[in-house]
Amino acid sequence: MKIKQVHEYNIDEKLEADIQNVLNRCFPEIYPTNRIYFKQLPHLRFLAFNQENQLVGHVGLDYRVMNLNGEIIKVLGLIDLCVSINNRSEGIGSLLLSEIDRLSKKGSVDFILLFADNTNLYTKNGYQTVENNCTWLKINHGSQNTIDIGSESINGLMIKKVGNKEWVQGNLDLLGYLY
């Protein structure tokens, strides 16, 4: 298995088509069929390729600050982690998460953050579920325009501590869109 780190602005047409194919197969009837992002482009992606150099795994990464109860935290957000249906249960998801761990420990990151429908993979890899009231920019993914500001507790919010700061319950302002 080969993992490549790719900055968004370096994705060519062939790789874009491969990413779109994986995302559409992993998220059928949910993911837009005309682009490789749901609401916003990630800053970079980790991509997993098999021995035949076929794309079999994907995760987008978004680096930004957020406001946790009045304190600014640096967050690496995970977006759309997925593994091709034929390659699941081969450790590819955990391999992608370990690459993210390696990257985040090199840089200035306080927490890795994600929203998960199924928490099993993440819990197995050291993430914990937290409960915070979140505020975020609501974007209509179809028309791609801002529609409102959201504010509520969201199920499946998970974090992994990377830096020295402690996570606390309370209010989390994402200072941007919801992954």
pLDDT, tens digit (0-9, with 9 covering 90-100), for 93-149: 999 999 999 999 988 999 999 999 999 999 999 999 999 999 999 998 888 889 999
pTM of the model: 0.92
Long-range residue pairs from 39-42, CB within 8 A, at least 24 positions apart, any chain: 39/139, 39/141, 39/144, 39/177, 39/178, 40/139, 40/176, 40/177, 41/8, 42/8, 42/79
Q: Where are the domains of the chain?
A: 2-177
Task: Name the pLDDT band for 167 (thresholds 50, 70, 90).
Answer: very high
> What's the CATH code, domain 2-177?
3.40.630.30
